Amino acid sequence: MNTLFMLSKILLLTLIAFCVFIQSVNAKKLVIAHRGASGYLPEHTIPGAVMAYSFGADYLELDVVMTKDGHLVVMHDLTLNATTNVEDVFPDKVNNKGKYNVIDFSLNEIKLLKVNERSSRNGKTAAFPSRFPIKSQLFKIPTLEEVIILVKGLSKSFGRNIGLYIELKAPEFHRKHKLDPAKELLSLLYRYGYKEESDAIFIQSFDSATLKSLSFDHKTSIRLIQLIGENNWRLSETDFTFLKSKNGMEEISQYAVGIGPWMNQVVTGIDSSGKVQITDLVANARKHNLLIHPYTFRADRLPSYVSSFEELLQIFFNEVQVDGVFTDFPDLVVDYLKKNPSN
């Protein structure tokens, strides 16, 4: 009897320890390298991904769009104007709006282009003046498959894994052109062994219909994140005003494990007494056990209510207690979390 009691006690303690371990793993604050180490090198480039890995980022954020021949390439915009030399290489492929849509190019044509630091809307000046020189064109547009091969290679060489955090850009737009980026993405990920909820991968999108389809129709076990924008951004037919509500968060919890809100939707400022103004979105998300991964934390573009990047991180990690952040400067966030391990 005593032996059975002791065994039961040991089993119970082991189970408790395991649960505590799982909670500690899940509680880890994630550093998500936004488009690679984009504060230092042009976004969505192989060198930028390597730099993000070397900084110790937990996840590499990748936006994907499709070429006209159905390949997934890593590119934030649906157009090539702001980050490549497309106007020099293919001057005749401009559309009637003065844009060069990725979807109008084959992969072979995309590979002829060079990537530069992001330009401003006028196309002549840098969007972030203190970053990599805008005239330097040293890099190529990678396919998603190339980045996956890179990440797996780095993990093998250095013994540290880095996860993938993939955004499906404008799936509605692609579907209108008879392309299905969600289906192609799942096929590619499954081929490289990304299948389970426990795998180091998230899929995110502003389009709730696409995420619901991934969950309910494709029945994927990969963790899904609902990005939250504003209706006037016209990113999707998704009603973001509804999603930010209590009922909206309940709906999200049926198909996703978390949300990716704009940071201004989480904190609106600091009042005269020094109290951080946290929106209801946080409580609404927590009520349904949703992860909160806000975007985008930039050391060279701070909100008006803080005077330093460290202060911004302190607010979001200490006051709001978010589960991770998207950042162009993953090294700074990694360093902050090392210096503040209680976060």
By annotation, the residues acting in catalysis are 34, 76
User: Is the peptide bond between 296 and the residue preceding it cis, with omega within 30 degrees of 0?
Assistant: yes
Residues in a beta bridge with 110: none
Pairing of strands 276-278, 291-292: unpaired
Residues in a beta bridge with 32: 59, 326
Q: How many CB atoms lie within 10 A of CB 182?
A: 22
Residues in a beta bridge with 326: 32
| Radius of gyration, alpha carbons of the chain | 21
Q: What is the DSSP letter of 328?
A: S
Return the closest-CA partner of residue 80 out of 47, 41, 109, 50.
109
Q: How many CB atoms lie within 10 A of CB 58?
A: 21
d(C-alpha 86, C-alpha 84), whole Å: 5
Half-sphere exposure of 275 (CA within 13 A, CB side): 4
d(C-alpha 151, C-alpha 156), whole Å: 9
Pairing of strands 163-168, 201-205: parallel
Return the closest-CA partner of residue 294 out of 34, 62, 27.
34
